[in-house]
Amino acid sequence: MNGDGGGGGEEAVKMEEVKEKLVFMWGYLPGALPQRSPLLSPVAVRLPPSIGDGCSWKDVYGGGCGFAMAISESGKLITWGSTDDLGQSYVTSGKHGETPEPFPLPSEAKIIKAAAGWAHCVAVTENGEVYTWGWKEGVPSGKVFGDSSTAVIQEKDAFERHSSFLAEQVSPRPQGSRSSGGTVSSVDGRGGGEEGTKRRRISSSKQAAESTPSGDETLSALPCLVTLNPGVRIATVAAGGRHTLALSDIGQVWGWGYGGEGQLGLGSRIRMVSSPHPVPCIDSSSFGKDRSAALSRGSLSSEGQGFRVPGSYVREIACGGRHSAVITDAGALLAFGWGLYGQCGQGSTDDELSPICVSSLLGIQIEGVAAGLWHTVCISADGDVYSFGGNQFGQLGTGTDQAETLPRLLDAPSLENNHAKIVSCGARHSAVVTDDGKVFCWGWNKYGQLGLGDVIDRNIPSQVPIDGCVSKNIACGWWHTLMLAESPT
């Protein structure tokens, strides 16, 4: 946190003391209410006294499919919001009941960052160690804590019963055909040609089961300590559909999990990476596949200087359903992975197997990035919002449902004179926080995940009413949204 740069002394301390940190949730968290009905508007979440440490919040994280993750000031990972009797995929990430409570991790070290994907979770300790748990495709080989035989029995049924949720991850709702970058693609998974082939390649639950040794070995709710090279300290993590990225304290990206569409950035369609591998984001990346191709699609000027990506290290990472994005210290955005909807920002619908610079944003200092199932949203140092990729539910915020294969600047009237500072994406919705603490959401709203009091999708940014509070952070899950806010006590 930056200081105010001025004097003030005791007065500044007093002002800080009267601000209370609050957490709000909205959308679909099945265990948050007995009726399991969606929360259409922000609802405050209270830390129970049993947690101790003064019952104060520090930060929020999305919580994947149907549960919530946050960190307390004392460094405990707090989870809540799901149930254990629906057989849905988020159960595989451990039980997260109706009441917020510390998630049992083997380390006593404070948790400083966390993330959750489709069915796996990952957390970072203050010592730079990483724990992960959930669907084993997202859990690398490493030291597992607990009784694995018990966990397998508990989780076997859950795996067999969540195939419909896997199918939902693969395909959006049927809407006919859409033109995207000159290519017609069927969004219901029945398209022909290359797009249909590409979609059929994407694993169904049956293929997922077959790709592992046996069905009962695919799931584990037990935390695993990720084995990294000696001396590697992780600063933050990101979790996608079935892959994970970790960023070290010196700006090196590591990845593991499923990489069939290139989302691990290793240059190939490697289906399973069972231990962390360094992702070559700077030295071996380029502005384009080659100069002529880059020039032909207008992504480089004829005066383009070389091919080295601006920057010397990575300072931010994001994972979508099957794609990834990183930002370098120079503010360059790189993307890689599944490209069917243009979510890699290259003006095409090709998969990108290695990190590639989003060249149309060169010259713009990118400060933050987030990724959803099929879309990517980033914000610039000037507070502008850019989005690209799939747009079936208005998740790009452009005012239409047309996919965008190149980044598009959002010029929505609601964002005029508002400086975006933080961005987050759910499966099919997006959210930003402005520098003065306002929250704007847009996209899919079937479960009230936009927090606007209804279940109507929005294709332009819409302000979420948070009277009396100033938002400090936002974290979208797949079907819900969490917000950290400050309020005068």
pLDDT tens for each residue of 142-197: 555 554 333 333 333 333 333 344 444 444 333 333 333 333 222 232 233 333 33
Number of structural domains found in the chain:
1
Q: What's the pLDDT score for residue 2?
A: 37
Instruction: Please report whether residue 1 resides in a domain.
Output: no
Model confidence band, residue 119 (pLDDT cutoffs 50, 70, 90): confident
Instruction: Please report whether residue 6 resides in a domain.
Output: no
Residue 310 predicted with pLDDT over 70: yes
How buried is residue 428: exposed, middle or buried, by Cβ count under 10 Å (0-12/13-18/19+)?
Answer: buried
pLDDT tens for each residue of 5-43: 344 455 444 445 557 899 999 999 877 666 678 999 999
Instruction: Please report whether residue 7 resides in a domain.
Output: no
Mean pLDDT calculated for residue range 300-316: 68
pLDDT tens for each residue of 343-400: 999 999 999 999 999 999 999 999 999 999 999 999 999 999 999 999 999 999 999 9
Instruction: Please report whether residue 345 resides in a domain.
Output: yes
Provide CB contacts within 8 A for 181, sequence distance 6+.
Answer: 342, 347, 348, 349, 403, 405
Q: In what order do the strands lie in the sheet with 19-27?
A: 39-45, 19-27, 480-488, 470-476
Instruction: Please report whether residue 363 resides in a domain.
Output: yes
Counting residues of the chain whose pLDDT is more than 90, the rounded percentage is 58
Instruction: Please report whether residue 2 resides in a domain.
Output: no
pLDDT tens for each residue of 321-340: 999 999 999 999 999 999 99
Instruction: Please report whether residue 204 resides in a domain.
Output: yes
Mean pLDDT calculated for residue range 295-324: 71
Q: In what order do the strands lie in the sheet with 375-380?
A: 366-371, 375-380, 385-389, 404-409
Q: What's the pLDDT score for residue 139?
A: 75
Question: What is d(CA 98, CA 79) in angstroms, rounded to the nearest whole number?
Answer: 9
Instruction: Please report whether residue 4 resides in a domain.
Output: no
The single-letter DSSP state of residue 283 is T
The domain in which residue 68 lies consists of 19-488
* Selection from 426, 481, 471, 431 nearest residue 22 by Cα: 471
Counting residues of the chain whose pLDDT is more than 70, the rounded percentage is 70
* Selection from 296, 297, 300, 332 nearest residue 315 by Cα: 332
CATH at 209:
2.130.10.30
